[in-house]
Amino acid sequence: MTVEIIEPHGLCAGVDAAVARALRLRDVYCLHGLVHNEIITGDLRDLRFKFVESVEDVPKGGTVVFSAHGVGPSVRRAAKDRELTVVDATCPFVDRVHRAARSFAKRGMPVAIICDPAHVEARGIADEVLDLPDGRALVPENGLLSDWPGGSGPAKGLEGRKIGVVAQTTMNADDVERCVAVLRGKYDIESSADVCAATKDRQNAVRRFAKTHHGEGSRVLVLGSPSSSNCRRLAEIARECGTGSLLAGTMDEVRALDLNGVDVLGVTSGASTPERFFTEAVRYLRNVPRHVAIVMDGNGRWASQRGKKRGEGHVAGAETLSKVLEWCGDRGIAYLTVYAFSTENWKRPKAEVDGLMSLFARMLKLKGGDFVRKKVRFRMIGRRGDLSKGLLATIEELERRTAGFERQFIVAISYGGRAEIVDAVNEAIRRGEPMTEETFSRCLYAPDVPDPDLVIRTSGELRTSNFLLWESAYSEYYFTDVLWPDFSESDLDKALESYASRHRRMGGV
Ligand code: FPP
């Protein structure tokens, strides 16, 4: 099965800003979900957010977050009456619709709202109109307008009146256009109905994919919560275009998908779906390892084959490493661990050891800014006490600066698998806990990092050389004759293809 990423996909600027803002808060109340996404809701619950359906549920004087979907003036007033501190995370596009609706209503026009009347965004827009003394909100129903919230049959008394038209930002852009055309044929309208650009772009991308892939073996997978209007629209659009569609909001749902008979799977996500879920799902679907570990071997041979000094081989190896880190990021690999210097490497000539240590310090100083910009967490595993104060300070400073990031780059320096086990035993004894595999694992250098799925070794050597002895118990191994400085993007892909073709039984059947 080919997994194609449909671009653009995912988080829009409005949601991104709302989430970033919310993540700085603790212990607050949030009116409805911040956005319709269970993963984001879970993150916020971890920050002690309490989700309420009315401002009346927020204790007087408390802090309330208005969600990206916005609220109408009656809610703002109620919040003021309760003396609440308001953090307004309303998306600027939603805000624009509110202003358009209010301006129509202020001009004495009834306002038709193309929407799902049960959606919280639609209710906020309607409130903007109904809050005015003569405000009249309408909804299109079977090509005619009904009084808000619909279901009451065609509205009376609209003859000779100009009607303002707005739309919920997450509707199907084509449906909105069609609806405006129908209303124009029957009423005197002034339309400001437009779904937001991010929603439209994601919908058009699905249409483009569906145009070229609409056979039996094609599907569009929308990653996002079923409660999200814009995600449901994406799935609907794929179906309308003749491509089967699937919707999954969690990794468990992704794992449970029935993909039998699917040859091409287009993957997209809605404007409220976190990118980390998207990356993890695509990695799973493409069978890309979460954690790759590499024994970067062959720098010395590469140099001597070219009549160069061994140190030059290490410099070339460091350049390769920078590229491999990028390529791994592009492929959704969440953890990359590299073996840069073993506990045994101290036996090498002093000049080579000194050269390597200053290469590490130079590279980390040079690349530190890139790690921060690209949100890569840097970590070192190994015996820190063996390193010079200067190098250790550089390492620890970079570890601090990148501590919050999810993607990880782990460098093993003065590292030995046996040394790590011995250090872990001593730590376990110090902690005085009963010794089990779990308690022991918690004493390793990076206990929170999952075991490597794939270990690559370059330069044709068929050994583990004391690398991640405990952690690689069930890793897949890939050996290549390529010397590390020559390791290319296609060599990485060959290793990943080999991994993807293996059936990992992990001791089962
Ligand atoms: C093994 O090749 C390689 C090393 C001992 C050093 C690897 C280090 C780098 C690639 C630089 C990494 C930089 C950072 C910042 C982590 P070898 O010398 O054993 O080669 P040979 O087997 O051909 O002699």
* 98 Cα–ligand 1 center, Å: 60
Residue identified by tokens 């003396």 is: 83
> How high is the pLDDT of residue 292?
98
From the candidates 16, 194, 297, 453, which is the catalytic residue? 297
Distance, CA of 484 to CA of 321 (rounded, Å): 9
> How high is the pLDDT of residue 215?
80
User: pLDDT per position in the chain (509 positions), as tens?
Assistant: 899 999 999 999 999 999 999 999 999 999 999 999 999 999 999 999 999 999 999 999 999 999 999 999 999 999 999 999 999 999 999 999 999 999 999 999 999 999 999 999 999 999 999 999 999 999 999 999 999 999 889 999 999 999 999 999 989 999 999 999 999 999 999 999 988 899 999 999 999 999 999 888 999 999 999 999 999 999 999 999 999 999 999 999 999 999 989 999 999 999 999 999 999 999 899 999 999 999 999 999 999 999 999 999 999 999 999 999 999 999 999 999 999 999 999 999 999 999 999 999 999 999 999 999 999 999 999 999 999 999 999 999 999 999 999 999 999 999 999 999 999 999 999 999 888 999 999 999 999 999 999 999 999 999 999 999 999 999 999 999 999 999 999 999 999 999 998 887 777 77
Instruction: List the residue whose alpha carbon is closest to atom 4 of ligand 1.
Output: 340
**Residue 102 DSSP one-character state:** H
Cα 257 to Cα 30, 234, 246, 416, 503, distances in angstroms: 32, 18, 8, 41, 19
- 78-95 burial, b at 16+ Cβ within 10 Å, e below that, comes to bbeeeebebbbbbbebbe
Cα 359 to Cα 7, 142, 318, 362, 500, distances in angstroms: 39, 71, 8, 5, 34
> How high is the pLDDT of residue 163?
98
> How high is the pLDDT of residue 412?
98
SS3 196: coil
Q: Is the CB of 314 under 6 A from ligand 1?
A: yes
Distance, CA of 203 to CA of 239 (rounded, Å): 12
With a CB cutoff of 8 Å and minimum separation 6, the contacts of 497 are: none
Extract the tokens encoding 286: 């493409």
CATH 3.40.50.11270 is held by the domain 12-91: yes
* 356 Cα–ligand 1 center, Å: 8
Instruction: List the residue whose alpha carbon is closest to atom 22 of ligand 1.
Output: 298
Element (H, E) at 380: strand 376-381
Do the domains at 93-195 and 202-286 have one common CATH topology? yes
Distance, CA of 211 to CA of 200 (rounded, Å): 16
Extract the tokens encoding 295: 């024994």
Distance, CA of 211 to CA of 373 (rounded, Å): 37
Q: Is 466 a catalytic residue?
A: no
- 312-351 burial, b at 16+ Cβ within 10 Å, e below that, comes to bbbbbbbebbeebbebbbebbbbbbbbbbbbbebeebeee
pTM given for the model: 0.72
CATH architecture for the domain at 202-286? 3-Layer(aba) Sandwich (3.40)
Q: Is 345 a catalytic residue?
A: yes
Question: What topology is assigned to 291-500 in CATH?
Answer: Undecaprenyl pyrophosphate synthetase (3.40.1180)
Give strand pairing partners of 190: 164
Q: Which residue in 333, 471, 477 sits closest to 408, CA to CA?
A: 333
Distance, CA of 121 to CA of 32 (rounded, Å): 11
Cα 458 to Cα 70, 177, 479, distances in angstroms: 55, 57, 6
Instruction: Specify whether the CB–CB gap between 149 and 175 falls below 8 A.
Output: no
Question: What topology is assigned to 93-195 in CATH?
Answer: Cobalt-precorrin-4 Transmethylase; domain 1 (3.40.1010)
| Annotated domain spans of the chain | 12-91, 93-195, 202-286, 291-500
Q: What residue ranges in 280-352 does DSSP mark as E strands? A: 291-295, 335-342
Tell me the angle at which helices 73-81 and 120-130 cross, rounded to the nearest 10 degrees.
90
CB 390: neighbour CB atoms within 10 A?
Answer: 11
Q: Which residue in 496, 185, 178, 481 sits closest to 330, CA to CA?
A: 496
With a CB cutoff of 8 Å and minimum separation 6, the contacts of 11 are: 19, 269, 271, 272, 273, 274, 275
Q: Is the CB of 279 under 6 A from ligand 1?
A: no
Instruction: Specify whether the CB–CB gap between 170 and 199 falls below 8 A.
Output: yes
Q: Is the CB of 381 under 6 A from ligand 1?
A: no
Angle at 494 between CA 490 and CA 500, to 5 degrees: 135
> How high is the pLDDT of residue 233?
94
Distance, CA of 178 to CA of 148 (rounded, Å): 20
Extract the tokens encoding 220: 């569009």
Distance, CA of 155 to CA of 175 (rounded, Å): 21
**Residue 294 DSSP one-character state:** E
Please give the number of the atom of ligand 1 that sits closest to the Cα of 320: 10
Instruction: Please confirm whether the linkage preceding 154 is cis (ω < 30° from 0).
Output: no
* 176 Cα–ligand 1 center, Å: 60
Q: Is the CB of 355 under 6 A from ligand 1?
A: no
Cα 296 to Cα 74, 320, 372, 403, 411, distances in angstroms: 63, 10, 24, 25, 11
Distance, CA of 171 to CA of 232 (rounded, Å): 10
Element (H, E) at 297: none
